[in-house]
Amino acid sequence: MVSLVEYELTGTDLGEVRFALSPMNELALSLRTWRDPGRYPLQLPWLHRTAAARAGLDAEMLLALTNDDLWTPDFLTPRPWSPLTRFDEELAALARTPLEVVRDDLAEVHPEPDARPAALAGGADRVLRRITRAIEGYWTACFEPWWARMRTVLEADIVLRGRTTARDGLAAMFADLSPGIRLVDDVVRVEIRSLGGFRRTTAGEGLTLTPSLFTRSATVPISAAEPPLILYGARGAGTLWESDRPAAPRALAGLVGEVRARLLLLLDSPASSTELAVRLGVTTSAVNQHLRAMHAAGLLTSARHGRSVLYLRSALGDDLLRAGS
């Protein structure tokens, strides 16, 4: 069943639409891939690479944090405030979650007490401690080694959305996030697969938009009492685990070289030197040399986002690519 969640942007809140990243959100949403990996084909390489590490985790608890509808408790998907959010900060906040919130959110995910997973039995304080330990172990084993690579894709998405907003306006940016999201008369409408939706204002809180590698459509909090938040699928997720060696046009490769021609092909969306090195199968230092030269020649633009510099093909680069093709 499809329901509607509506966020009313009022007055100055139109200027309070912000982007942020959350390692904890990514970790919580990734638990869906454990329960139903077939729905997340882009993340199958990551599941294969982390299979041995997952074998040593508290799988009973981690699986209990989702249900058959792939819901997760709201306290595991906190609203982040910055694109620079750190996991250790979010883990400390998780450990301080009020116990009544833990009880209520877990009851939302598993409403039938008789069908509740055994890992969630007992007092909320004991359950929260076990959840915190399980989440920390999961991060260390399966996320920390890959997070820099994941974060690069997420930051590139935010830069792209910012440019869309500056060029085409807020409504165009929302329309491009997901087929189920649109902005109509200062109301953001989000279609979700759920038995019930809600409508609430963002007054005083603003609306946070968070890209994710582990959602295919828009995801919002279960409860209207939670701060306004929309998680959406990040662009570029399909490139995360692949080496990408596109064939460059022969004339263009003869003019600027094979690697630079392939970089021009790839940079139709923002990317960092680290991501590009993985996709092309070359060293980061080599990619950086090419990027600096191409930027100096006016073929690329660049923007700093957090700790990364993201590159994008310029109008001159577009013209050169078209001519070379």
CATH class entry, domain 243-324? mainly alpha
Q: How many CA atoms lie within 13 A of 312 on its CB side?
A: 15
Residue 152: CB atoms within 10 Å: 25
Higher pLDDT, 255 or 88: 88
Distances from the Cα of 106 to the Cαs of 11, 109, 316, in angstroms? 35, 5, 53
Going from N- to C-terminal start, the domains of the chain cover 2-19+150-235, 23-148, 243-324
- On the question of pLDDT at 14 being above 70, the answer is no
What mean pLDDT do residues 54-62 have?
Answer: 93
Q: Which helix (H) or strand (E) holds 175?
A: helix 170-177
What mean pLDDT do residues 266-271 have?
Answer: 79
pLDDT in tens, 223-254: 888 889 999 999 877 777 765 555 566 777 77
Selection from 223, 178, 217, 183 nearest residue 200 by Cα? 223
At 324 the pLDDT is 66
Higher pLDDT, 64 or 156: 64
* pLDDT interval class at 210 (50, 70, 90): very high
What mean pLDDT do residues 120-142 have?
Answer: 95
- On the question of pLDDT at 174 being above 80, the answer is yes
Q: Any idea what DSSP says for residue 205?
A: T
pLDDT in tens, 96-111: 999 999 999 999 999 9
